[in-house]
Amino acid sequence: MKPSTALAAALVLLAGAALADGGVTVQLPDVSNLDQAEATQMIADLANVNVITSNCPGYEITNGEWTLITGTGDLLAARLGLDATAYDRKYYGPAFKLLDDPAACDRIGPTAKPLIQRLVEMGGGTTPLAKSR
């Protein structure tokens, strides 16, 4: 459900909420105040955290947290004018290469919770708003 579907099946964005595979809908943060450099850094951080939390034991996240991360990444990709192919090539390609580095899990994994907290402080949420049927 995690990185393999993050790009293969685009998240449905509805009124600031994201619906991910598995049917979890969460409130997405307001990313409109981020400048270009901040948006570019955040989308890279989100891709890295998504790959690491999906592939490294001990750094797992909840479905709500995953939806917040991927939904925010999709918002930023749209804001930066990236289609799914460009988003994958520019951010997920390098993120998956992190898995070749034995230290990547322990380097990136601990950044997941602070990044999620930042998204929450920006108005996002990890608590499911609804479940699809």
* Tens-digit pLDDT profile for residues 105-119: 999 999 999 999 999
Residue 16 has a pLDDT of 52
Q: Report the pLDDT value the prediction gives residue 41, as an integer from 0 to 100.
A: 98
Distance CA 126, CA 71 (A): 11
Give the count of domains, the chain.
1
pLDDT beneath 70: ranges in the chain:
1-23, 130-133
Query: pTM for this one?
Result: 0.82
Q: In sequence order, what are the residues at sequence separation of 6 or more whose Cβ sits closer than 8 angstroms to the Cβ of residue 96?
A: 3, 51
Q: What domain range is 19 assigned to?
A: 3-131
pLDDT at 131: 56
Say what the pLDDT of residue 17 is: 54
Query: Which residues on neighbouring strands pair with residue 2, listed in sequence order?
Result: none
